[in-house]
Homo-oligomer: A and B are copies of this chain.
Amino acid sequence: MNLTLSDTEAILEEAARIAREYLAGHADRDEPVVRYLAPDALRRRFALEPPARGRPFEDLLEDVRETLRYSVRSGHPGFSNQLFGGYDVAAIVGEWMTALLNTSMYTYEVAPVFTLMELALIRHMCGFVGWSDGEGVFTPGGSIANLMALLAARNRALPHANVDGLRPDDRLALFLSDEAHYSVTRASSVAGLGTSAAHKVPVDALGRMRPDDLRARIADARSDGLRPFFLSATASTTVAGAFDPLEELAEIAAEHGMWLHVDASYGGGVLLSKEHRELMNGCDRADSITWNPHKMMGVPLACSALLIREKGRLAATNSLHADYLFHDNEAASYDMGDLTLQCGRRVDALKLWLSWQALGDEGHEERIDHLFELADTMREMVVERPAFELIRYPQACNICFRYVPPALRDAEESNDRRHRLGELTVKIRERLREEGRLLTNYAPLDGVPVFRWVASNPRVTRDDLELLLDEIERTGAEF
């Protein structure tokens, strides 16, 4: 299939037209978030298997339209299913150009502009953390960033680990809260320590790691002959949106010579807000920070950075000096390939760079502040409406709540009541998901499912929030 240049032009023009029409649909509240089809039904809509013979482009563009039609509108105000949402035109243009320029981030020579952009972004982000120096690299997501932080800490604690591997007397222990993300525990398994080396610390009423319990766990680990080496704090937990007390944790990490990591996959964006950045107080004392601009900052997936306080640590952990790739020339010191677990690495810098140029620090600050305001509005509405119960007073942008049917509104708190409400939460949410007008999520908190709504799309209005609560209430009344 040899396309002429004018075919190519026509196809790209048509793709741009499809894109414009699609984005216009996000503003249409009658457009569902998803036209849900179960796998078997969806499979009947597409000839999914690659064909023996190529198909004409007109047919493919029809498939593209069908793909848009049956995919989830994550940019729609009715989407609050994950920790991302909305859309950013500058960032979309960044992705379009990234596809066109198709290169890899390993060396300056094949990615000169993108290398300088990523370095500038890393430096700028380190500045918001409070580091005048520091280093970092973009990763395919927060889980890989957390893994890379743990590996850097392991290899600092055990300088022989890189070459010799773990030795019989290397009995390491790491600590994270009961509500931290599962990727940290998995990283412990990946690194050869096993999931059992990951010690979970209880949380307080807001979902924050309890420093006293952390001290106790560390003492227990020490008396078991283990060596505490890594403390993973969370800055905005996945479900409750809690921020661990970084100042106190930094103190404890320093006392025990532990590497302090902050998983701020969601919360990193808070650093841009003068009003809310106190939630991250103490983060400048961390050794490493995961920060995903694809969450609060609204650029498309994936855009995730691992920031490291001590310059040189990433190369010390990851470099194997591959001389087929890294050449000794004037720009070699800019090559980022030695900083990561990857070799070829997709360009994730351009979208964030363009978004940050379009909004500026001020625009991003307004965005973050506005997300907090939306969360406040949502919290107030949940508290005011008799059909709802707020679960955990929120520190930031996650609002966890339950629908309570009239019969249970005056019933005393009990395990039975909680579990009945939990089951109802799942039923309501699954019904809403299948109807597709809205898409919000549930997640377990203290072992029982709750609705979890997260502010991530600044285009959401009070009316959208009313609609979500109305729909939950309407559906709840049907069970």
Given contacts A42-B113, A67-B350, A341-B143, contact A324 B443 (CB under 8 A): yes
Q: Is the CB of A104 within 8 A of B82?
A: yes
Given contacts A16-B15, A54-B358, contact A81 B109 (CB under 8 A): yes
Q: Is the CB of A70 within 8 A of B112?
A: yes
Query: At the interface, yes or no: A87 with Cβ under 8 Å from chain B?
Result: yes
Given contacts A54-B357, A54-B363, A324-B239, contact A93 B113 (CB under 8 A): no
Query: At the interface, yes or no: A75 with Cβ under 8 Å from chain B?
Result: yes
Specify which chain B residues have a CB less than 8 angstroms from the CB of A42 in the assembled complex.
112-113, 116
Q: Is the CB of A342 within 8 A of B140?
A: yes
Query: At the interface, yes or no: A46 with Cβ under 8 Å from chain B?
Result: yes
Given contacts A182-B322, A360-B52, contact A344 B141 (CB under 8 A): yes
Q: Is the CB of B93 within 8 A of A95?
A: no
**A301-B106 Cα distance, complex, nearest whole Å:** 12
Given contacts A64-B93, A358-B55, contact A301 B103 (CB under 8 A): yes
Please give the distance in Å from A77's CB to the nearest CB on chain B: 14
| Interface residues in A300-319 (C-beta closer than 8 Å to B) | 300-302, 318
**A123-B55 Cα distance, complex, nearest whole Å:** 20
Partner of A166, one of B120, B166, B327: B166
Q: Is the CB of B93 within 8 A of A39?
A: no
**A99-B302 Cα distance, complex, nearest whole Å:** 10
Could you write out 11 A-B pairs with CB less than 8 Å apart? Answer: A22-B100, A42-B113, A46-B113, A54-B357, A64-B354, A70-B113, A74-B102, A74-B110, A84-B102, A140-B141, A238-B324
| Interface residues in A32-91 (C-beta closer than 8 Å to B) | 34, 36-39, 42-43, 46, 48-55, 57, 59-61, 63-64, 66-68, 70-72, 74-75, 81-82, 84, 87, 89-91
Q: Is the CB of A39 within 8 A of B108?
A: yes
Q: Is the CB of A346 within 8 A of B46?
A: no
| Interface residues in A204-246 (C-beta closer than 8 Å to B) | 238-239
Partner of A345, one of B92, B141, B351: B141
Q: Is the CB of A191 within 8 A of B190?
A: yes
Identify which of A1-9, A378-386, A388-396 touches chain B.
Answer: A1-9
Q: Is the CB of B186 within 8 A of A320?
A: yes
Identify which of A193-201, A251-259, A463-471 touches chain B.
Answer: A193-201
Query: At the interface, yes or no: A24 with Cβ under 8 Å from chain B?
Result: yes
**A142-B165 Cα distance, complex, nearest whole Å:** 23
Query: At the interface, yes or no: A181 with Cβ under 8 Å from chain B?
Result: yes
Interface size of A by Cβ–Cβ distance < 8 Å? 155
Q: Is the CB of B12 within 8 A of A19?
A: yes
**A292-B147 Cα distance, complex, nearest whole Å:** 23
Query: At the interface, yes or no: A101 with Cβ under 8 Å from chain B?
Result: yes
Identify which of A278-286, A329-337, A404-412 touches chain B.
Answer: A329-337
Please give the distance in Å from A452's CB to the nearest CB on chain B: 8
**A334-B40 Cα distance, complex, nearest whole Å:** 11
Please give the distance in Å from A340's CB to the nearest CB on chain B: 8
CB nearest neighbor in B for A298: B102
Q: Is the CB of B196 within 8 A of A50?
A: no
Specify which chain B residues have a CB less than 8 angstroms from the CB of A320 in the assembled complex.
182, 185-186, 195
Q: Is the CB of B20 within 8 A of A12?
A: yes
Taken residue by residue from 120 to 136, chain A's Cβ proximity to chain B (1 for < 8 Å, 0 otherwise) reads as 11011000000000000
Partner of A360, one of B12, B20, B50, B185: B50
**A351-B323 Cα distance, complex, nearest whole Å:** 31
Q: Is the CB of A9 within 8 A of B20?
A: yes
CB nearest neighbor in B for A193: B165
**A98-B163 Cα distance, complex, nearest whole Å:** 40
Query: At the interface, yes or no: A189 with Cβ under 8 Å from chain B?
Result: yes
CB nearest neighbor in B for A8: B89
Specify which chain B residues have a CB less than 8 angstroms from the CB of A402 in the assembled complex.
none
Taken residue by residue from 344 to 379, chain A's Cβ proximity to chain B (1 for < 8 Å, 0 otherwise) reads as 111100110110111111110000000000000000
Query: At the interface, yes or no: A203 with Cβ under 8 Å from chain B?
Result: no
Please give the distance in Å from A123's CB to the nearest CB on chain B: 8
Which among A50, A190, A302 has the highest number of chain B CB atoms within 10 Å?
Answer: A50
